[in-house]
A and B are shown apart, each in its own frame.
Chain A
Amino acid sequence: MTTDPNQIQLTADGKLKHFLTIEGLSKELLTEILDTADSFISTQERAVKKVPLLRGKTVVNLFFENSTRTRSTFELAATRLSADILNLDISRSATAKGETLMDTLWNLEAMYSDMFVVRHADSGAAHFIAEHVTPNVAIINAGDGRHAHPTQAMLDMLTIRRHKGAIEGKVVAIVGDILHSRVARSQIHALNALGAAEVRVVGPATLLPRDIEALGCKAYYDFNLALRDCDVVIMLRLQKERMQNALLPSESEFFKLYGLTTEKLALAKPDAIVMHPGPINRGVEIESAVADGPQSVILNQVSYGIAVRMAVMAMAMSGQQASQQAAQQADDDAQGEASA
């Protein structure tokens, strides 16, 4: 990282103009995102789900890595804000023909795009793009390498707030492959900023980074112990390729130790909720009876994902406009002084 992300993602008066990472954002700003998303949920329950906020704006979904759910919820979010949306599957486009990333971006800018939603396998990709595009294009990070997945974390916060009333004072366990999870990192930052009582990360030693506790969480190797007094249990997807890297003995071994079953869930608080960013591997990290059970809010997360993405897109576009105007004003003032 070359510069502090908050120098890039916030306007001079602290408004969002890109959404790159949760790290360093204030409780007030995160709460504003959740409040705005809450209002968008009410618009999603109507017969006409569109609002005219981003009418005439062009949003480009720039996915350098495969994704179905995130991409389609961003697409729906943009559509419901009345923006025009272009989906670019970069792996099949010009980059595969040898065009550099910056050339691709400059071409998209030349098409008068207003926002890029970026998913990339490299940590820091969204930040890099935000630093190099023209000032008027908002960048939303839809997942970069192992670094961050801020909209997923915010939809998880919205889910907790709507189902548990608040994030303050809650004990939350994040379970599974913490090492490779950008979702876990963003969740830890968001939970801490929003006042969770305790954040626990749970998994085998091979999948828990050694320095993880520095982010403000407590590491557990024993799932049973970690579940005690939990209000929220967030299961992460186990990526099958990790087995090949010998980080895990076998799927069945992992399920035995870290899979969420009805018996294990009984160790948490009786009203604990179960979350999962999806896609779920039934029988690997979560039992079907739990995934489809009364404590599961997994499908609610998907619905809230649209509202959170609408909120972040509207706020970032609003911030872009504010900073554009400030720049214009400064320009006018400078010209006024020069001619005076």
Chain B
Amino acid sequence: MQLPDIQQTCQQLTADLQSLLQQRGIDNPLMVGIRTGGVWVADILHSQMTLEEPLFSVDISFYRDDFERHGLHPQVKGSELPESIEDRHIVLVDDVIMSGRTVRAAINELFDYGRPASIILVSLFDIGRRELPIQPDLCGARLALAEGQLIKLSGPQPLTVSLL
């Protein structure tokens, strides 16, 4: 299976994001990447746009729903978010959306920092297999993988994708 070119996909995603923000009348969003891969993707999108504020990140380790099964992630990095996100428009970025559980955890965590005005979900790749009713607003590419197949992002420099 031919995987899409990451640089091109990111460029397209940036253009789509800019027009969505314009359409919704949002001029100063907070961009937040989900650790680790989401931060790499967000970093590219952030650098291609002119946003007033730096890139922020969420680490969902303390919010996962599989703690009972897998325990604590050994390398918790912590979230870097502004003190309050009250009434802010947030662009939440992840690298790959699958079950939707990571996004659920990230949104839960964001709400512990305040009540955002809105959240736009951006994902570089969507590989389906959803377990929760969560869909990205923008997606770089939808990939139809064979059963049991997964993709892996490596980064941050250079950001590459491979089939597992």
Question: A315 — which chain B residues lie within 8 A by C-beta?
Answer: 72
A32 at the binding interface (Cβ < 8 Å): yes
* Min CB gap B90→A, angstroms: 16
Which B-chain residue is minimally distant from A42 (CB atoms)? B78
- The smallest beta-carbon distance between A274 and chain B, in angstroms, is 28
- Which B residues, 62 to 97, have Cβ-Cβ distances below 8 Å to chain A? 62-63, 67-69, 71-72, 74-80, 83-84
Q: B111: nearest residue on chain A (CB-CB)?
A: A48
What's the interface size class on A, roughly? Answer: 20 to 34
Instruction: Tell yes or no: B59 within 8 A of A by CB.
Output: yes
Contacts of B77 on A, CB cut-off 8 Å?
A: 39
Q: What is the CA–CA distance of A319 and B113 in the complex, to the nearest angstrom?
A: 29
CB atoms of B63 and A318 under 8 A apart: no
User: A188-205 vs B: 1/0 string, CB under 8 Å?
Assistant: 000000000000000000
The CA-CA distance from A192 to B62 in the complex, in Å, is 30
- Complex CA–CA separation, A314 to B61 (angstroms): 11
| Structural contact, A36 and B76, CB atoms closer than 8 A | yes
Interface of A is mostly: helix
Collect the chain B residues with CB atoms within 8 Å of residue A52's CB.
Answer: 62-63, 108
Give the interface SS of chain B, mostly helix, strand, loop or mixed. loop
- Which residues of A from 47 to 65 have beta carbons under 8 Å from B? 47-48, 50-53
Closest Cβ–Cβ distance, residue A245 to chain B (whole Å)? 44
| Closest chain A residue to B79, Cβ basis | A42
A35 in contact with B62 (CB, 8 Å): no
Bound-complex Cα distance A36 to B59 (A):
12
Interface-central residue, B68, B84, B113, by most chain A CB under 10 Å: B68
Contact between B71 and A321, CB atoms less than 8 A apart: yes
Q: Is A38 an interface residue (CB 8 A)?
A: yes
- Provided the pairs A32-B74, A43-B62 are in contact, do residues A53 and B67 lie with their beta carbons within 8 angstroms? yes
How far, in whole Å, are A46 and B83 apart by their CA atoms in the complex?
Answer: 7
Are A39 and B61 neighbours in the complex by a CB distance under 8 Å?
yes
Contacts of A35 in B (CB 8 A): 75-76
With a cutoff of 8 Å between Cβ atoms, the chain B residues found around residue A50 in the complex are 112
> Inside 8 A of B69's CB, which chain A residues have their CB?
321, 325
Q: A39-B59, A53-B67, A318-B67 are in contact. List 5 more A-B contacts (CB 8 A).
A: A46-B112, A47-B113, A314-B72, A321-B71, A325-B69
Which 7 A-B residue pairs are closest in the complex by CB-CB distance? Answer: A318-B71, A39-B78, A51-B62, A48-B112, A318-B72, A39-B76, A42-B78
